[in-house]
Structure 1
Amino acid sequence: MTTGIRVKLSAMMFLEFFIWGAWFVTLGAFLDKTLHATGVQAGSVFSTQSWGAIIAPFVIGLIADRYFNAEKILGILHIAGAILMYQMYKAPDVAGFYPYVLGYMVLYMPTLALVNSVSFNQMTDPEKEFSSIRVWGTIGWILAGLAISYLFHWDSQNGIAQGFLRNTFLMAGIASLVLGLFSFTLPNTPPKVAKGEKVSVSQVLGLDALKLLKDKNFAVFFVASILICIPLAFYYQNAGAFLADIKVDNPTGKMTIGQGSEVLFLLCLPIFFKKFGFKKTILVGMLAWAVRYAMFAYGNAGELSFLLIIGIALHGVCYDFFFVSGQIYTDSKAGIQYKSAAQGMITLATYGVGMLIGFYIAGLISDSYNSPAGHDWKMIWLIPAGIAAVVFILFVLFFKDQKDNVAINEPAPNN
């Protein structure tokens, strides 16, 4: 790979995740404080990510892999996304906001696979080369959060009161337009499927890998992956609104600690994985979800603020030790025949079905513990902590450690 191509791919990854981090982290606070959305309404907005994840395989498998170059589709989707971002910026209420965010997520979620396709097409050894490219995505996400908190102060108490959180959509829209135009300069990435070659819907969605569920251990892991996405949805939907509500200074900037910890714990994952095996590794990830939410329940913006910081920093353990190790485990169980299908099935089950259920439950809980006096954040966080603890216990009881020979390929972190 030439230096010029490496720079282009790194810039592509930076912008791809800068866009997402520029608005998604503050979305909960924006819905609560600016659009005055109920918990159920907020859950519906956040669930658009799940609908996007469910629809994305059709876009990639039935269009991108068959008819058009990946970089050209990437450009078109991001230019269209910039237009929708501007409409989200202008939306006066939740009813006006929802159609645009749904449309945007349907367009954005496929781009996560497209940037990977463009990158892999230029690599001779993806296992060694991809991480150094993908890490720029995490840097982009972090810098977006730092800009919101420390450069523009949109998430300060004064900024929120004046409605400045709305500007995050304008920033994301500009970045989306830049990436859309820039995409047409990216390396040529032709369709993967030859013309005339038939691809079934079950192949596109990874449903061929359902045969893996005959393995009891994999079936237990599969169900646990869906269930653990319920507490995960609470974090995405409520964390930003929670920190803003209890008046934590620069909440968006502080939440970037979570992305930094992803990189750190990803480096620790191979060591932990090889020493303790899959079951103990994934159990640590599950337990971390329960612990972090308990910290959120009892932390505050004053003398117990350290609990909030530790809870945010645990994001690396929560994500890497469960989801990344789960991807590795899935890859090892699938074998050559079902590698891609199995990963597609897990993604559809977690970010699609699991998160869809999670956002709905998170919205109901938020409304149940909301009153004229404000949110009862202690209960809002203790409930997902309890759910994570139950999933932990079920996994201990039903997953039998067979000392599977699982190889570590050190995948890049995801947000």
Structure 2
Amino acid sequence: MSTAIRLKLSLMMFLEFFIWGAWFVTLGTYLLHDLHATGLQVGTAFLTQSIGAIIAPFVVGLIADRYFSAQKILGVLHLLGAGLLWQASRAADFSNFYPSILGYMVLYMPTLALVNSVAFRQMRDPQTEFAPIRVLGTLGWIVAGLLIGWLNWEQGGGLRNTFLLAAGASAVLGVFSFALPATPPLPRAAAGTSLGSLLGLEAVGLLKNRSYLIFFLASVAICIPLAFYYGFTNPFLNEVNMPRAAAVQSLGQVSELLFMLAIPLFFRRLGVKKMLAIGMSAWVLRYVFFAFGGADATWALLLGIVLHGVCYDFFFVTGQIYTDNLAGEQFKSAAQGFITLATYGVGMLIGTLLSGRIFDAYQLPGGTHDWRMIWLIPAVIAAVVLLLFLLLFRDEKIGANAAEVAPL
């Protein structure tokens, strides 16, 4: 790969995740404080991510893989998305805000697959070339959080600007996409023809493997407490007066970045079951730290945020490797699509609806909340999932090449 192409792909990844991180992290705080939304409405807003994840395979499979170049579709989606983000910034209440953000996420979620498609099609050796480019996406998310903190938009009442910032970046990426390397549609035979192939349902046969079935169910269940983290961590940190909360939350992505690079080493030493169990244990610890942390114990809050790298990498990245090694060569892509649909589609859908109801149920007089109970509930859910996983999952040996798969 030439240096020019590598730089273009790196900038593409940086902007892709800068856009998401620029508004998504502080969404809950914005809805609660600026639009006076309820917890259920906050959960409903975050639910748009799941709706987008469910629709994304149709956009990529039916359109991008078949008829148009991926980089051109990427450009069109981001230009349309810029308009919807601008419209969302002008909404005076939740009822006007929700259609814009729903439409935006339906457009944005397919771009996560499209940027990967554009990148992979330019690579001769994705296992070594992809990770250094993908890591720029994590850096983009971190920079977005640091910028919001530096501009003091949370405490200064300027969170409406996050949507304008994201809209501007989306417009830039939309225009820039047309300068990306050509990524023409796949030959008709390679694009897949059935609904099952689009949704990854061809990989459903993996569930006949008892251990994989346990992993699959655990993946869906563990995304329920994940929704609590995405939806209510920023409102929580701001309510306990954490300075520059969005910037502090970016420590989670720094942790994710560091642990991602160490995954191959841990995988060789620990194996599948221990890796997955450590990941789920970190979920329990994170919510316990949140439950008992606060203004007088900020160290606990910081530890809970830093544990994000262990939570995500040890469970989700390990799960991707585990899935890749169990799937036959013909169904590797279908298997990854299947597990993504189940986690970010079904699991997060359940979690966003539940977390909003829990948030509302523990509201206190004066607009504060019983955060200890709000965080202990996902801690208990994660602990139950962990316990059942340890009892039922058998650590079957998988291919030796597992440790060599580049984490995504």
2: CA distance, partners of 1:172 / 1:276: 40
Amino acid at match of 1:316: G
CA distance in 1, matches of 2:22, 2:28: 13
| Native 8 Å contact 1:84 1:100 kept in 2 | yes
Asked if 1:228 is matched to 2:222, the reply is yes
**Counterparts in 2 of 1:277 and 1:168: CA distance versus 1, 3 Å:** same
Select 2:234's aligned residue among 218, 226, 240. 240
Quote the residue 2:52 is aligned against: 52
**Percentage of identical aligned residues:** 59
User: Aligned to 2:17, what secondary structure does the other structure show?
Assistant: helix
Q: Which residue of 2 aligns with 1:171?
A: 165
Call closer, same or farther: CA 1:197–1:254 in 2, change over 3 Å: closer
My pick for the range that moved more, 27-36 or 63-72, is 27-36
Task: Find the residue that maps to 2:179 and give its secondary structure.
Answer: coil
1:250, CA displacement in angstroms? 0.6
Kindly provide the CA deviation profile for residues 243-301 of structure 1, in whole angstroms up to 9, marking residues without a partner as x: 01111001000000000001111122222211111001100000000000000011112
- Work out the CA distance in 2 between the residues paired with 1:167 and 1:61: 34
Instruction: Give, in whole Å, the separation in 1 of the partners of 2:304 and 2:210.
Output: 33
Q: Counterpart amino acid of 1:377?
A: W
The residue identity in structure 2 corresponding to 1:55 is I
1:408 maps to 403
Matches within 5 A, 1:283-322: 283-302=277-296, 304-322=297-315
Give the letter aligned to residue 70 of structure 2.
A
Which residues in structure 2 correspond to 1:13-412 (within 5 Å)?
Answer: 13-150=13-150, 152-156=151-155, 159-160=156-157, 164-194=158-188, 199-302=193-296, 304-373=297-366, 374-405=368-399, 407-412=402-407
SS of 2:403 mapped into structure 1: coil
Unpaired runs of at least 5, structure 1:
none
- Three-state SS of the structure 1 residue aligned to 2:25 is coil
Deviation at 1:193, TM superposition (A): 3.4
Deviation at 1:172, TM superposition (A): 0.1
Aligned-partner Cα distance in 2 for 1:230–1:203: 26
SS at match of 2:122: coil
Q: Deviations over 1:364-406 (max 9, x none)?
A: 1111111323211000000000000000000011101223335
Deviations 1:99-123 (A, max 9, x none): 0100000000000000011111111
Secondary structure, aligned partner of 1:133: helix
Alpha-carbon distance change, 409 to 36 in structure 1, aligned in 2, over 3 angstroms: farther
Which has the higher mean CA deviation after the structures are superposed, 28-37 or 83-92? Answer: 28-37
Q: Quote the offset at 1:197 in angstroms.
A: 7.0
Counterpart of 1:41, as a letter, is Q
Letter in 2 for 1:114: L
Q: In structure 1, the residue corresponding to 2:153 is in which secondary structure?
A: coil
Distance 1:29 1:399 in 2: 38
Check conservation: 1:66, 1:195, Cα contact below 8 A: no
Amino acid at match of 2:311: C
Measured at CA, do residues 197 and 210 of structure 1 come closer, stay the same or move farther in structure 2, by a change above 3 Å? closer
Question: Matches of 1:269 and 1:26 in 2, distance apart?
Answer: 29
Q: Tell me, which stretches of 5 or more residues in structure 2 are unaligned?
A: none
Select between 28-37 and 48-57 the one with higher mean Cα deviation: 28-37
Aligned amino acid, residue 33 of structure 1: H
**Deviation of residue 72 (structure 1)?**
0.1
Write out per-residue CA displacement over residues 166-190 of structure 1, whole angstroms, 9 at most, x where no aligned residue: 1000000000000000000000000
What secondary structure is seen at the aligned counterpart in 2 of 1:47? helix
Say if 2:65 and 2:191, in contact at 8 Å, map to a contact too. no
Mapped to 2, the partners of 1:196 and 1:226 lie a distance apart of 29
How far off is 1:412 after superposition?
4.1
Contact 2:18 2:141 in 1 (8 A): yes
- In structure 2, what is the Cα distance between the partners aligned to 1:196 and 1:105? 27
RMSD across aligned positions (CA)? 1.2
Aligned AA for 1:89? S
Count of aligned pairs between the two proteins: 406
Q: Distance in 1 between matches of 2:171 and 2:284?
A: 39
CA distance in 2, matches of 1:31, 1:275: 44
What is the distance in 1 between the residues matched to 2:405 and 2:292? 35
Residues 280/198 of structure 1: CA separation in 2 closer, same or farther (3 Å cut): closer
Normalised by the length of structure 2, the TM-score is 0.98
Distance 1:203 1:296, change over 3 A: same
Partner SS state of residue 385, structure 2: helix
Q: CA deviation at 1:335?
A: 1.9
